[in-house]
Homo-oligomer: A and B are copies of this chain.
Amino acid sequence: MNDFTYYNPTKIEFGKEKQNNIGKYIEQSGIKKVLLVYGGGSIKKNTLYNDIVTSLNKHNIEFIELSGVVSNPLLSKVNEGILLAKENTVEAILGVGGGSVADSAKAIAVGSKYDGDVWDFFIHKAQITEALPVFTVMTLSATASEMNGNSVVMNDETKQKYSIASVLINPVLSVVNPQLMTTVSDEYLAYSAVDIISHCIEVYFTATTHPHFNSRIVESIIKTVMETTEILLENPNDYDARAEFAWSAIQGLNGLTPAGTAGGNFPNHMIEHSLSALYNVAHGAGLAVVIPAWMKWYKEQNRAQFERFAKELFASDDAEVGIAKLEAWFAKIGAPITLKDAGIPRDGIEALAINANETATMWGMGELYSKDTIIEILEKA
């Protein structure tokens, strides 16, 4: 077991109607003015926007609004938020939405305390040393952004989808109310399931040290996500399934699963970021395409763990059966499993590989994942 530091100071307020307390939670932190960040206005189609505004007003929290965050969130929108935050000297950022909104809120929180270009942090030209406090109210569960210090943003000029990570942008508090997720489409539910599974299996398969305990936690999360996804596709109103799905999603990327492992990395995310950057594919959809291809390509490098996976998840002793069954499950829940399914032409592979290799280089995996290697993997998709 490898040495590690575990530190996750985010408070999770989980459960029904908890968005109605957001003003109280913010007030308890001594904050009086926030930037309210959200997406395309779907929060105005139900009562959520009103709930938030009512609660903020009740507790005398002043707020400025930034709407229009899109999935695969854009740097240009983040910069707009930073400008607003600075001009209005807000004291915290409140994101209401899914992972893209939370990620944007975090990037704005960092940029608001920095005189230069926030993209400096994404290209490792600057180190995060301070940030405004972040609060979130989640309407989608997948990225675990509500309980980690990660933010992924796309530079709309350079088409680079890069990330930052710091405990300084762990939300101070996140509201997770599974009721707010009832309206998520079947399509996005499936993509979310794939995303959560991907967070778990990246390190599970690539780590050179992976304790049994960590494997068990990962398998517990995946089993729960598969079970609850199937229930929710049948009945979107099953609160308990929605809740277990949401809580498992958080555990999948809040620091628990990799604690004590060594040498793990995120090749599927690395390659997928190019699919969503160049073709604006939903992140989870891109992952469903990349994962089975990557597994087929990688399996001999850690056959024992692939056999464990097949056994624990699909009651088979055969590593290949494990991969095939996961792929079949992705298809069953409606996720694309080939580039063609995702609307990406074969002659796009080279450009994807060049883009992904740039990310690989940024993540210190440039040699491991050369352009040719990425082409070899994507050919399997």
Contact = CB atoms under 8 A, between A and B. Distances in A.
Interface of A: 1-16, 18, 178, 211-213, 216-217, 219-221, 223-224, 227, 239-240, 243-244, 247-248, 259-260
Contact of A1 (B5, B10, B244): B244
Contacts of A1: 178, 239-240, 243-244, 247
A240 B211 contact: yes
A71 to B, nearest CB: 26
Copies per complex of this chain: 2
A176 to B, nearest CB: 9
A148 to B, nearest CB: 14
Nearest to A16: B3
A227 B215 CA distance: 14
A188 to B, nearest CB: 21
A57 to B, nearest CB: 24
B259 A14 contact: yes
A212 B239 contact: no
A67 to B, nearest CB: 29
A162 B7 CA distance: 29
Nearest to A173: B7
A224 B213 contact: yes
A11 B227 CA distance: 33
Contacts of A240: 1, 211
A309 to B, nearest CB: 15
Contacts of A13: 5
Contacts of A211: 240, 243-244, 247
A255 B117 CA distance: 40
Contacts of A11: 5-7
Contact of A227 (B7, B178, B212): B212
Given A244-B213, A248-B213, A8 B5 contact: no
A244 B14 contact: no
A216 B224 contact: yes
A12 B6 contact: yes
A216 B312 CA distance: 12
B227 A223 contact: no
Contacts of A223: 212, 216
19 contacts: A1-B240, A1-B243, A1-B244, A4-B14, A4-B15, A5-B12, A6-B14, A7-B11, A8-B8, A211-B240, A211-B243, A211-B244, A212-B223, A212-B224, A212-B244, A213-B220, A213-B244, A216-B219, A217-B220
B12 A9 contact: no
B260 A14 contact: yes
Contacts of A7: 10-12
Contacts of A10: 7
A8 B2 CA distance: 22
Contacts of A2: 15
A15 B6 CA distance: 11
